[in-house]
Structures are given as C-alpha cells and as structure tokens.
Structure 1
Amino acid sequence: MKVSKFGGSSLADGHQLQCVFDIIKADDTRKVIVVSAPGKRFKDDTKVTDLLLTYAKATIEDTDATDIIETIKDRYHAIGNHFDLPAYELADIDEQIDHLARKHYRSFDYLFAAFAAHGEYLNAQLIAKVFTHLGVPARFVDPKEIGLRVDDNARSATFDTKSYNTIAELDLSTSERLIVPGFFGYTENGDIATFSRGGSDITGAIMARGLSADLYENFTDVSAIYAVNPSIIENPAAIKQMTYDEMRELSYAGFAVFHDEAIIPAIQGGIRINIKNTNDPEAPGTFIVPPTEVQQTRPVTGIANSNRFSALYLHRYLLNKEVGFTLRILEILKKHNISYEHMPSGIDDLTIIFDKTLLTQEQVDGMLEDIAATIKPDTLKWLPSYGIIMVVGEGMRNRIGALTDIVTPLKEHGISLQMVNQGASEISIMLGIQPDLAERAVKAIYDNIFKMV
C-alpha cells in the first residue's frame, strides 16, 4: 500500500487535477491520498491558502470580505466545473467558506489556523467528489475522524505520536481511495491547529508511518531532487538516492522540495520516500531511504544555501574558562522567547545563528541589551542578514580532505567565510557567509566536487 501526497502546484487547477486522477487510477495500491490546497496556476497567481489568510484578516478587522470570498469560491468552482461537477456539490463548499467568518474561535491565532487549514480541508472534499464523479470511488477523511491530534500551538503545531494508534485503525479494505487533507490536525479541545507552512508533507509522512505504508510518494513539480538549486547551476546532477539524514540537512538549509520536519515520521517508521513529478510520473524521481540502502558514488550528495538567518557575534577573552557562561546566554534567550539554530564557538568567541523569520525587532533589541549588560563582552555585533551553505553527503564520513575540497575553490575565487562548522555526524559541513556571496560560493564548490567524479 502506498500513501501519495500531492502539493499545491499539482492541484492548482482542473488540468493538474486530471493528471493526479490519472496517476491514482493507474495504481490500485495508491490507497491514501494526502492533498494540499490549490497552489499557483501561473507566476503572479495567489495560492488559495494566502487568499484564506487575507479573508481571516478581513474577518478580524471586520472589513468587507466579499471580493476575497468570491475569489476563493471561484478557485474551487473552476476546478469543479472542469469536470462538470454538479452545482449542488460546489454549493456545499460555498457554504463552508461563508461559515468560516461566523464561527467562534478561541483566539486570533486559532482563527488564522482554521482559515488557513480550510485550503486543504475544502480541497480534499472537492477531490473526493471529483474522483467519485469520474468513476473512481473516493471518500473524504477528516483528520478528526482518525484522531490526528496535535498540541496547542495554533500555527506551528506538533503532532501527538499517540495518534498513530488511531490512524492504524483506518479501514483500507474497501475499493475507495481515501482523501486526507494535509497541513493540520485537531487539539484536545477540538480546535484546528496547523503545522508550519508546507506542512502537508508532514501529514503525508504521518499517514505513511501510521498505516505502515510500503512507500510514501511525494508528488511535486520536479522530476528529481537536484544536487544544487537549478537557478544557480544549469542542469545540475539529479540525486537518485539519498539518506533520511541527508534530506533533513538539505531541507533545513534551503531545499524546498520536502519539508525538513516531514522526514522524522518516515525515519521512525522506516518508510521509504519517493519524490516524483506529477507531470512526469514515469520518471523514477529521487528515493529517500535508510543509509544501508544507498550506494555512494561521490562524497557530496547535495549543496544547499539559505539567507534566512541572522547572527550574533560575541568576543570576550577567556570565555572558555568561565563555568556557566553558555547557560547565562541561554537564559537570556529563554527570557525573550528566542530559539537559536546553531552556536559555534572558539576559546574567546561565540556566534549564535538565528532564523530571522522567527524574530521580531523587539526581541532582538531586548536580547542584545541583556547580553551587553549581563555578559559584558569586549565585542558584540548583530548581523541582521547572514547566509548559510550546507554541504551534505554520507560519503564525507571519515573522508580525509573533505573540507579541503570545499574551501579550496572558495579561496581560488576570492570568497571569504565567516564560519566553518562540521556536525558530529560528519555528513554535513556548514559555512557561514555574506549573503551576497552565497550563490558564487555554491557554484565554486559544486564545480569542484562534481567534476571530480
């Protein structure tokens, strides 16, 4: 049995849904289908989730939402009309869209979560209707029905692993395809709470593990995961196989094909993942598997970069001799409700790297003020924009010269680094770099390593 997840680009309009239908119809083992909200149909289009968030904002501010409501309905109607779905089937979806603004929510965060989740919630219902209309029996499965429970973090929820027991009870014995909306679950109080954006990948992985699937297929708009961003390198090498840990490292650092948190249920359940292209379903795609199943052909599997970071640099002599120094830093971060990504250090220096998308200026100002007053560093610098490059590969384990292969081409191209850090797993090397140099650096590293094989 396979669990197949389809992203927003695969479900953006009727033509794309027809491709999805053909894929599902062609393989009876594709029993459970996890779906995203309709994505962009063209470059300047708006995702349905973003339309719903605009609707949520208008509801909170009590402003006229007529136009945005009609735009949302039109997106679902266009898909239904493509398949000549009866009008009464679409009227039910219209009523649910209208009802969103009339419901009571525990807080504005839960309101935003409920509105955002309805992109998937309504699309799953629509797809079940379309499939059945086209002769492939399908049933919408509400996450509440299978007890998909999450914690009380309304817009960045964490899955409750006890829910695997109820998910495992889902009846797969019928000929129906089961259509499950991704991206959200229910709190103990019955409120909708969403995972972080892109969280339909997480739902797919949860369903695959809970049902002990033979394979988790993740359909997107590329025929493989590539060793580097194709916007940086023309026709980069495709990755045929990679390990769970490699995918997690690369997803975290910028590979947008697969959500980095979604790999965890697959790891825990030993579920193999296949990234495939909705518009080229016969292509083998990329398999994400346990380390024992991968045959390494080169030391590096992939290179990712992201400029979504900020960094704090702190210098103080004899920093390494002070017992409890790091604890005092962590207490300041806790006070301001700030999480950090990395904390590489030397004997007199410390760099703390943050995801700047999770910070407010108020948090930054308070943190810097407290560190200056409490720690009294000789130097304290805030770098509002900080780039990270991750060079990842199981083939780097115990390999002499792995770091040399990475930094030598940078030296030859006159590119300086702000930080180098190798993880304890030995499969990744992190480079801190000025954001405007990141793409040049990625190209230099790629050209050196991938021409070696």
Structure 2
Amino acid sequence: MKVAKFGGSSVANATQIKKVAEIIKSDPERKFIVVSAPGKRDSNDFKMTDMLINMGTAYINNENYEEYYSIVLKRFKDIIDELNLSSLLLEEIERSIKQTLFENVSNDVKMDSVKAIGENNNAKIISAYLSDIGLTANYMNPKQAGIIVSDEPGNAQILPESLPKMYSLREQEGIIVIPGFFGYTNKGKLVTFSRGGSDITGSIVAAGVQASLYENFTDVNSVYTVNPNIVDNPKEITELTYKEMRELSYAGFSVFHDEALIPAIKAKIPVCIKNTNNPDAKGTLILAEREVNDKCVSGIASDTGFCSLYVSKYLMNREIGFGRKLLHILEDEGISFEHAPSGIDDMSVIIREHRLTPEKEELVIKRINDELHPDTVSLQRGIAVVMIVGEGLVKTVGVAHRATSAFYNANVNIEMINQGSSEVSMMFGIQAVDMDKAIRSLYQAFFE
C-alpha cells in the first residue's frame, strides 16, 4: 500500500492531472493520493496559493478582492473544462470560496481557510476525474482522515493522537484523495502547515496508514548531488538516509519541505522522490539506513541569507553560563539560531538574516554589551552556508582536507567551520558572493 503525493507543478493544469491519473492507474498499490494546489504552468505563471493569499489579504483589508477571486475561479474553470467534468463541480467550488470569504470568523482563521482553498478544491477535481476515467476514487477532507493538528495558524504541528486513528483508513474502499497543507484542531478549526506543507500531509498519511512506500512526485527525476543551477548536469543521488535528506533540505535543497520527512522518519517509512513527467525514472530512495563506502559524500548543499554574530571575551571558557546567557538574549527577542561554533574566548552564532532586522540587531548588540560585557561584539551579514553531507562522513579520513583544498583552489576564504556536531554533515561559512565558485570546486573535488 503506497501513499503518493503530487506537488504543485504536477497538478498545475488539466494536462498534468491527466499524467497524474495515468500514474495512479498504473499501480493499484497507490491507494492514498495527497495533492497540492495548482502550481505554475510555466516560469511566468503564478501559484494558486499566492493568488489566494492576495485575495484573502484584500478582503480582510476591505480592498478590492474581486480581481483575485476572478483569476482563482477561472483557473479552476479551465481545469474542469479541459477535463470535461461537470459544471456542477465548478458551482460547488464557487460556493465554497464565497462561504470561506464571507464567514464571520477571526482574520487568522479566515486567512488559513482561504489559503487551503487551492488544495481542497484541487483534491475534489482530481477525485472526480479519477472516477470519470473508471477508477473507484473518493475525496476525503483532512478532518475525516483524522489529521489533528495544533492551533497554530500557518504553522500547525501534527498531534500524536492522529496517527493511530488514521490506521483505520486502510479499510476504506478504492482510492482516497486527500488535500495537503492543512488539518483540523480538536475543536474543528482549520489550520494550515507552513508553506510547502503538502509534503507534510503526505508524510503524515504515510506514517498513519503504515504505507510500504511514500512517493513524492515533483518535476525532477531525483535529488541531485548539487544544485543544477550552479553545476551543469550534476550526478543524481539514487539513495539517501533520512538524516542526509534532512541536512540537505535544511541547507537549500528545495525538493522537500524541511519538516516534511519527520512523520515518515519516526515511522520508518521509505520515501521515493519521483518525476511526474518521467515516472519510469528510478528516482531517489530515502531510507533509515544505507550502505556506506569510502565515497561517503552524498551531496553538497548551499544557501545564502545568513549573518554571523561574533562575541569575544577573554577567559570566556571559565565564565559559567556565558553561552546560555548569550543564547537566552536571542530567545528573549524571538530569534532562533542555526549554528554556534565556539572557541575558548570566542563564540559565533549563525542566524538567518531575515530573523535579525536592523532594529533587533541594535537591541541584541546593546543587550550583549550591557549584560555580558564582552571585549568585542560584531555582526557580519552576507554569509552563505555550504554543507557537505554524507553518512559516515566524520569517520572517513581526508574529507575535511579535500573540502578545504577545494575552497583554496577556488580562492575562497573560509569564515568558519562547524564539524562534529552532526555525524552526517560538515558546515562551512563563506561570503555569499563566493558561493557559486566554491560549490563548483567542491563538486569537482568530490564527484568528478
């Protein structure tokens, strides 16, 4: 029994939905189907969810929302017409959109309900089309499916009681089509996951029904060893562990939402990334464990948009609680951090730049000076994080040497290194302007 999730590009229009239907039809084990909202049909197109956010924001602010409403409705109409489905389905969708907009609820509840329109109605359309081509298929709302979540609008978390309840879904007849991206609280309130959350729904369903495989269909053949926008025709990765994929997705790999695998990881469900446009391609299989050889590096990930908060104080290592106090200041100001490499008199904290606004930067530095009395405190923006990822990496001789040699060959200065805190990754901080040439040099060192 498999769970198959289809991303936005896979269900962007009628042509893509017909491909999805053929994929489902080709394997009777694909019983649970999780779908996203319609994505971009081409590079100049819009995502349905973005348009819904515009519509909801305009409505809440008493601005003209009708233009966005017309665009959303036309997108659904085009799909329904091209699939030759009943016009009654469009009328049902139109009623549900109006009901969502006009419902007398708080703004955060309304906004989450508006954002979920894309997934919810696309699931209804796809279920209707599967039935139309002769398959036994039914739409199932996440509330019926038992996806119970925390009351955190835009950032819902699955609650533990969900998964045992979902196991009974295995007894349902036919194919079940479930919209991704949202669930319901115990009190029946619709709440969305963070953006890209349809991946999370797919993983939750796979864990809940104890699927033999969770297939995540997107628009690439597999996960690549490096960003193909930086290196031409990079090698494909055929197998990864959960840990490796988590590190890669955190550090810039956009195939998976970085929270998506957590339910599948806990349930030890194998995950396969597949291409809707090339379903016969092998894809990338993600497992709990894999065989490790001397070529332990599986991928190189990178991302920009970081800053480094540097604090120096003589005999810092003897001052009990210094690191805790520093991180507590960040916690007080609602700032999470990514890495915190340190020495005996120095500590650097790597933070996403968008979390440290100029106003917060001024406040944080003032508090550090007033409360910790350092010798030096400074902030450096424009940092890129480069991560070398692979099982067995920290136990393999020479990986750090090859990496640092690659940076040297590219004439890139390493601002910081964080090795040892993770068994499967090695982090380097460099200037963002140097990222692409560093990645090309690392790729050459490890994969060519």
Q: TM-score, normalised by structure 2?
A: 0.97
Deviations 1:364-400 (A, max 9, x none): 3322221122122222222233210110011424111
2:142 counterpart of 1:137: no
1:286-328 CA-partner distances (Å, limit 9, x unpaired) = 100121x335462210001001322211122111111011121
| 8 Å CA contact retained: 2:149, 2:186 | yes
- Letter of the structure 2 residue corresponding to residue 17 of structure 1: I
How does 1:230-309 map onto structure 2 within 5 Å?
230-291=228-289, 293-296=290-293, 298-309=295-306
Report the secondary structure of 1:298's partner residue: coil
The match for 1:442 is 439
Cα separation, partners in 2 of 1:209 and 1:64, compared to 1, 3 Å: same
How far apart in 2 are the matches of 1:363 and 1:194?
28
Q: Hey, what does 1:81 align to over in structure 2?
A: 81
**Counterpart in 1 of 2:11?**
11
- Deviation of the 1:173 alpha carbon: 4.4
Q: Is the 8 A contact 2:34 2:177 kept in 1?
A: yes
Go from structure 1 to structure 2 and tell me whether the alpha carbon gap of 1:105 and 1:369 turns closer, same or farther (over 3 Å shift): farther
Where 1:304 maps in the other structure, the secondary structure is strand
**Structure 2 counterpart of 1:203, from 197, 201, 204:** 201
Q: Check whether the contact 2:225–2:236 (CA below 8 A) recurs between aligned residues.
A: yes
Aligned mates of 1:141, 1:368 — CA distance in 2: 51
Write the mapping of 1:101-250 to structure 2, written as runs, cut at 5 A: 101-106=101-106, 108-174=107-173, 176-250=174-248
| Residue identity in the other structure for 2:93 | I
Q: Shift of the alpha carbon at 1:164?
A: 0.4
SS for the counterpart of 2:260 is helix
Unmatched tracts of structure 2, length 5 or more: none
Q: Using the alignment, how far apart are the partners of 1:396 and 1:142 within structure 2?
A: 43
The SS at the match of 1:153 is coil
Which residue number corresponds to residue 46 of structure 1? 46
**Whole-angstrom distance in 2 between the partners of 1:189 and 1:56:** 23
CA distance in 2, matches of 1:279, 1:28: 19
Is 1:225–1:285's contact at 8 Å kept on the other side of the alignment?
A: yes
Letter aligned with residue 285 of structure 1? G
Residue ranges of structure 1 left out of the alignment (5+ in a row): none
Q: Does the 8 Å contact 1:296/1:394 carry over to 2?
A: no
Q: What is the alpha-carbon distance in structure 2 between the residues aligned to residue 450 and residue 55 of structure 1?
A: 46
> Which deviates further from its counterpart, 48-57 or 260-269?
260-269
Structure 1 range deviating more: 386-395 or 296-305: 296-305
Amino acid in the other structure paired with 2:178:
V
Counterpart secondary structure, 1:92? helix
* Deviation, structure 1 residue 362: 3.6
Question: Does structure 1 retain, via aligned residues, the 8 Å contact 2:394–2:420?
Answer: no
3-state secondary structure, aligned to 2:386: strand
Partner letter of residue 28 of structure 2? D
Secondary structure of 1:367 counterpart:
helix
Aligned counterpart in structure 2 of residue 404 of structure 1, from 401, 417, 432 = 401
Deviates more, 1:39-48 or 1:185-194: 185-194
C-alpha deviations, 1:327-379, integer Å up to 9, x for none?
21122122212211111111111111122344544433322221122122222
Identity %: 41
Q: In 2, Cα distance between the equivalents of 1:34 and 1:177?
A: 11
Asked if residue 384 in structure 1 is aligned to residue 376 in structure 2, the reply is: no
Cα deviation code 1:125-171 (max 9, x no counterpart):
11111211222221111111122111121111211122101111214
Q: Secondary structure at the match of 1:32?
A: strand
Q: Residue 60 of structure 1 aligns with which residue?
A: 60
SS for the counterpart of 1:127 is helix
* 2-structure distance, mates of 1:75, 1:446: 41
Q: Which residue of 1 aligns with 2:32?
A: 32
- Deviation of 1:104 after TM superposition, in Å, equals 2.6
Q: How far apart in 2 are the matches of 1:356 and 1:99?
A: 39
Of 413-422 and 130-139, the range deviating more from structure 2 = 130-139
2:330 aligns with one of 314, 317, 333: 333
- The one-character-per-residue Cα deviations of 1:24-83 (angstroms, maximum 9, x if unpaired) are 011111000000000001111110000000011101111111110010011111111111
For these two proteins, the number of residue pairs brought into alignment is 448
